[in-house]
Amino acid sequence: MKKKIKIKLNGKLKTINNKSTLFNIVRKNKIPLAKVAIELNQEIVDKKKIKNIDLKNNDKIEIVHFIGGG
Amino acid sequence: MKKDKLIISKKNFSSRLIVGTGKYKSMHECAKAIKLSGAEIVTVAVRRVNITDKKKPLLMDYINPKKITYLPNTAGCFNSKEALRTLRLAREIGGWKLVKLEVLGDKKNLFPEMIETLKSTEILTKEGFQVMVYCNDDPLMAKRLENSGACAIMPLAAPIGSGLGIINDTNIKIIRKQTKLPLIIDAGLGQASDAAIAMELGCDGVLVNTAIAKAKKPFQMALAFKNAVIAGRQSYLSGRIKKTLYGNPSSPKSGII
């Protein structure tokens, strides 16, 4: 059985396969990459490099976009 | 009349009305109101993507950022750290450098926290952002923001969403006299005439959200604000007559039968 790790994605706890990359998360959640910004543990991530970013236990990912606001 | 453009950070805009994209019933209503308002700049907020409901409509699908300038805003931030984080993320979404800084100090009156605002303006300017700054109507603080590199001064008319209109026009006039930066009234307008008054005071533009979005007829109000901003600007440029205490007849006094 594959080892699992726990991460937080936009504040929600998720259990994912060990050795998942940030790209796997983006693809699985159907995130439109051109319309978002991504933070990993409060550091902004270069969207071009997400295939090379392996996730670790307790990583915190924030994916944000523009919404209506004043 | 020669072309009268609003220039912010060397970018030219024909419309002097900036509108917010919050509080509308739907994205569709928001997009239509923006179109009717004629606005070329809209403020937008940075928030988490909805991971659970992927079918939720995206703002960018309704308002094309290639046609309308998105002005990322830090609404909801209560300190410099949150505001900086928000705007750095906004820049990452697609290279936005023209931003609106808004650091709030009180959840009830939503007045700006000016010490944190000033600090954030300095940092963001150093990082290459062009910062339009929401501030109170204090001429001294407006000057300090200008000296810190703000690209536009955006004093409130009244508390955000209050609809009170300009409650201290004297301070707005003083700020107008002391700055060559774009001066844009941000927050607190309630009806179209408030926007006309702001323009007649010599402001370069107004930012409106709630007054349009929450009007009973948002589309009609969007149009009203568009016209009021144009009328107010033309009135300002026309040079008003002096106020006098007594009457001065419009018809010649001679030749009366």
The pTM (predicted TM-score) of the whole model is 0.90
pLDDT score at B96: 86
Q: How confident is the model at residue B51 (pLDDT cuts 50, 70, 90)?
A: confident
B12-47 pLDDT, tens digit per residue, is 999 999 999 999 999 999 999 999 999 999 999 999
pLDDT score at B234: 97
Mean pLDDT of all residues in B213-222: 97
Per-residue pLDDT at B1 exceeds 60? no
Mean pLDDT of all residues in A27-56: 90
pLDDT score at A1: 59
Per-domain boundaries in chain B:
6-238
What is the crossing angle of helices B192-200 and B218-238, to 10°? Answer: 20
Any CB–CB contact under 8 A between A39 and chain B?
yes
Helix, strand, coil distribution of chain A in percent, nearest 5: 25, 40, 35
Q: Say whether B44 and A37 touch across the interface (CB within 8 A).
A: no
Contacts of B163 in chain A (CB under 8 A): none
Contacts of A49 in chain B (CB under 8 A): none
Per-residue pLDDT at B8 exceeds 80? yes
For the ranges A3-17, A27-41, B82-96, B205-219, the maximum mean pLDDT occurs at: B205-219
Please give the Cα distance from B247 to B250 (Å, whole number).
9
Q: Say whether B54 and A63 touch across the interface (CB within 8 A).
A: no
Considering only CB atoms, A67 lies closest to which of B45, B54, B88, namely: B45
Considering only CB atoms, A29 lies closest to which of B45, B51, B94, namely: B51
Instruction: Assign domain B6-238 to its CATH superfamily.
Output: Aldolase class I (3.20.20.70)
| A44-52 long-range Cβ contacts below 8 angstroms, 24+ apart | A44/B88, A44/B89, A44/B92, A47/B92, A50/A21, A50/A22, A50/A23, A50/A26, A51/A21, A51/A22, A51/A23, A52/A21
pLDDT score at B56: 78
Considering only CB atoms, B89 lies closest to which of A29, A31, A39, namely: A39
pLDDT score at B53: 77
Mean pLDDT of all residues in B96-118: 94
Per-residue pLDDT at B235 exceeds 70? yes
Q: How confident is the model at residue B11 (pLDDT cuts 50, 70, 90)?
A: very high
Q: How confident is the model at residue B55 (pLDDT cuts 50, 70, 90)?
A: confident
Give the residue with greater pLDDT, B57 vs A16: A16
Residue of A nearest to B90 (CA): A37
Query: What is the residue-averaged pLDDT of chain B?
Result: 94
- Torsion angle in degrees (nearest 10) through CA of B109, B110, B111, B112: 170
Q: Say whether B70 and A67 touch across the interface (CB within 8 A).
A: no
Q: Say whether B45 and A37 touch across the interface (CB within 8 A).
A: no
pLDDT above 90 as % of chain A: 44
Give the residue with greater pLDDT, B181 vs B248: B181
Query: What is the residue-averaged pLDDT of chain A?
Result: 89
Per-residue pLDDT at A2 exceeds 90? no
Per-residue pLDDT at B54 exceeds 80? no
